[in-house]
Amino acid sequence: MYYIDPHIHMVSRTTNDYATLARMGCVAMSEPAFWAGYDRGSADGFRDYFRQLTEVEPARAAQYGVRHFCWLCINAKEAENVQLSRDVLKLIPEFLDCPNVLGIGEIGLNKNTRNEAIIFQEHVELAVEHHQPVLIHTPHLEDKHQGTRMILDMLADHANLSAERVLVDHVEEHTVKPVLDAGFWAGLTLYPVTKCTPARAVDIIEMMGTDRLCVNSAGDWGPSKPTAVPDLIMEMRRRGHRESVIRKVVFANPREFFQQSKNFDLADPASR
Amino acid sequence: MNAKEILDQEFLTIRSRLLDIAASLDRIQRAEGDATADSRMANVSEAIEIVGSQQLHRAERVQLLFSREYDQAWKTQYELDSRA
C-alpha cells in the first residue's frame, strides 16, 4: 500500500532509508524543522538548515521517486532563547515560496515555559500573516497533557486561524480528544518507547474514528523507526480493517491536510 | 473480532509484558539501596492498580497519572496576554 509519512526528519536519516521507504510504499513525506540534538549558535545556522530542508532533502528523496515537503520554524526547545527565536522568525518568510514548503512547524512547547509560549504565539501570528498551515509539536511524557492544553488555550486566542489548517501532533490517549473536539487535525506518532506503539495507535483510531487523524513515524536521530507507518498498516490489516479505511489514515488524510498548502501537489498514484 | 478472539491473540503478549514489569520491580528491589521513597515507584504502584481495575480507559488514566497538572490560570501566572 502506498502511503505518506507526514512527519519524519530525513536530515537525520541515511540515503538507504529513502530507498527502504520507497520500497515500502512511501510516496511522499513532510519534514518539520526540529531540534538537531544541540542548540545552534546563531540564526545563520538555521538559514543553512532551512536550505537543507528546501534544497538538499527534496533532491535526495527524488532519487527514489519520493516527494519531500517541509515545514519551517525554530523548534520549541531552542525557543527558550527568545532573541535567537526572533532572529529566526525574521528569516522564515524568505523561504515560504520554496516549492516544497507546506507551512510553519513544528512549533509548540517543550517544557511548557513562558518563553516557549511567547515564541509559540509569535509563530502563530507569522502563520496567520502569511496564510500558512501550522504543524504543532506537543511535549514529551509528563509534560504532554499540560503542554497540549496550553497550546489549545493559545490557539483559541486566534480567531483568524482556521482549525482545519492546524495539525496538533504526537497526540496520545489523554490528549487526542480535546484536540479533535476543538476541530484541529491530530497526529499519532509511532515511537518504540516514548510515544504510541502501532497497536495503541490503532486502538485510538478505533475509538476516535478516522476523520482528521494522521499517523507518522517521526523518524529522527533518536530511538525511532522510519518504517513505523507500514507497521501500523500491518496492525490494521491484522485486525481486519478494510483497505479503504487503512488508506484513508495513511494516505488520504495527510494528503487532504497538506492540500491546504499552496505548494502541495501530489497526484494519487492510483490515478496514474 | 469478539472479546474472546482478541484475548486469544493478545494473551501471550499480556503475559510477557506483565512478567517484564514483575521482573523489573524485582530487579529494583534486589539492587543495593532503596527506591521505595521515590515518587515514581508510587506512580508505578498506582498505575498497576489502574491496569488491574475493571473500568474502561485504563490507558488514558495511566497517561494522566504520569502527567504534570494543567492549571487553567497558567497565562495569568506567566503574565501573558491573550492575543487576537
pLDDT by position in tens, chain A (length 272): 999 999 999 999 999 999 999 999 999 999 999 999 999 999 999 999 999 999 999 999 999 999 999 999 999 999 999 999 999 999 999 999 999 999 999 999 999 999 999 999 999 999 999 999 999 999 999 999 999 999 999 999 999 999 999 999 999 999 999 999 999 999 999 998 888 999 999 999 999 999 999 999 999 999 999 999 999 999 999 999 999 999 999 999 999 999 999 999 998 888 87
**Distance in angstroms (rounded) separating the CA atoms of residues A260 and A188:** 20
SS3 content of chain B, % helix, strand, coil (to 5): 65, 0, 35
Nearest to A174 among B60, B72, B74 (CB): B60
The residue of chain A with its CA nearest to that of B79 is A114
Residues 6+ positions from B65 with CB-CB distance below 8 Å: B43, B46, B47, B50
- The confidence score (pLDDT) of residue A192 equals 82
Of B53, B45, B1, B54, the residue nearest B21 (C-alpha): B45
Hunting for cell 543553512 — which residue is that?
A48
In contact, A122 and A135? CB cutoff 8 Å: no
Distance from B2 to chain A by nearest Cα, in Å?
Answer: 11
- The confidence score (pLDDT) of residue A188 equals 98
Average pLDDT over every residue of B60-72: 97
Which of A109, A157, A177, A193 is best to mutate for the B interface (most B CBs within 10 A)? A157
Distance from A204 to chain B by nearest Cα, in Å?
Answer: 10
Of A90, A203, A194, the residue nearest A144 (C-alpha): A194
Q: Do A118 and B80 touch (CB under 8 A)?
A: yes
Distance from A272 to chain B by nearest Cα, in Å?
Answer: 36
Q: Does position B84 have pLDDT exceeding 60, yes or no? A: no
Nearest to A143 among B57, B68, B84 (CB): B68
Which of B74, B76, B79, B81 is best to mutate for the A interface (most A CBs within 10 A)? B74
- The b-or-e profile of A113-151 (16+ CB within 10 A means b, else e) is eeebbbbbbbbbbbbbeeebbbbbbbbeeebbbbbbbbb
**Distance in angstroms (rounded) separating the CA atoms of residues B31 and B19:** 18
Q: Report ipTM for this prediction.
A: 0.93
Whether the ω angle into residue A106 lies within 30 degrees of 0, i.e. cis, is yes
In contact, A35 and A61? CB cutoff 8 Å: no
- The confidence score (pLDDT) of residue A221 equals 95
Q: What stretches of A108-250 show up as alpha helix (H) in DSSP?
A: 114-129, 144-156, 176-181, 198-208, 228-238, 243-247
Give the architecture (CATH level 2) of A3-271: Alpha-Beta Barrel (3.20)
Q: List, for residues B3-52, the tens digit of each pLDDT value.
A: 999 999 999 999 999 999 999 999 999 999 999 999 999 999 999 999 99
